[in-house]
Structure 1
Amino acid sequence: MIEVYIDGASKGNPGPSGAGIFIKGIKEPVFLSFPLDSMSNHEAEFHALLLALDYCVKNNLAMVSFRTDSKVVEESIDKKYSKNELFIPLLEKSLKLINQLDLFFIKWIPSSANKVADELARKAIK
């Protein structure tokens, strides 16, 4: 199973942000950093999810297990619901991408187990 670790980071809340993605379980591990606009940390977490899902779809990684240290993201995906209006469009886009995958899991992990994605997210902050 391909494991996808995601993290979002913000310098300030809101502030300049970044997304980090670490993918393992394929021939060569993938390390991605994406600078994001000014946003909250939770928004950055959702953008990291979206960017990772988009990468998986475009690269035919159809059976994936995502890891995130964001309970907000994990619970929103699990319940297919968010009461926060800022997150609803991000959640809807995520669910559409998830539907293009053959198998998708998402699991919450502690920050200590998500260090690579965290470093990639922080590196992306301008």
Structure 2
Amino acid sequence: MIKAYIDGAVAGMEGFAAIGMLVIEHGVQTQKGIPLEKKMDNHQAEFEAFLYLLRYLLDNGKQKELIFCYTDSKLVSESIRKNYTKKEEHRVYLEEALLHLKKFDHFYLDWIPEKENRGADNLAKKALFQLAKKKRK
């Protein structure tokens, strides 16, 4: 069984972004904080975090595993659950996510409150801070 926590972070309303991913498998944690090179809003960063996780799991051959993924983004969790999003700029993310999800046998995505997602949040914020520092130079 794999538990994964994901989050996105953005500087300002629409600025530089980063994502955080915490994966726990057999008691071993994999932590990733990834700065993103393009500007986006927070919802796009949350989708980016979800897509990064899906690609990571696929690249590591985890399609047959039982996977529980947790996000504090209601937009991402509801969009995946309903296979629908209102905003045009989110459709490309949703379509890619749904395409990847078809490859998994047992993948469950649940919304959790922000306070329960501190690990992924801290990773995303740390990566965002490093990106901001790099951009100032």
Q: After TM superposition, is the score higher than 0.5? A: yes
Alignment of 1:1-126 (within 5 A): 1-26=1-26, 28-36=28-36, 37-62=38-63, 63-125=66-128, 126=131
Count the aligned residue pairs: 126
Identity across matched positions, percent: 40
CA distance in 2 between partners of 1:23 and 1:55 (Å) = 10
- Per the normalisation by structure 2, the TM-score is 0.89
CA distance in 1 between partners of 2:118 and 2:58 (Å) = 24
Alignment RMSD: 1.0
| Displacement of 1:26 | 3.1
CA distance in 2 between partners of 1:58 and 1:101 (Å) = 12
CA distance in 1 between partners of 2:96 and 2:86 (Å) = 16
Unaligned runs of 5+ in 2: 132-137
More helix by share: 2
- Determine which structure has more spread, i.e. the larger CA radius of gyration: 2
| Displacement of 1:27 | 5.1
- Per the normalisation by structure 1, the TM-score is 0.96
Secondary structure of 2:32's counterpart equals strand
CA distance in 1 between partners of 2:112 and 2:27 (Å) = 24
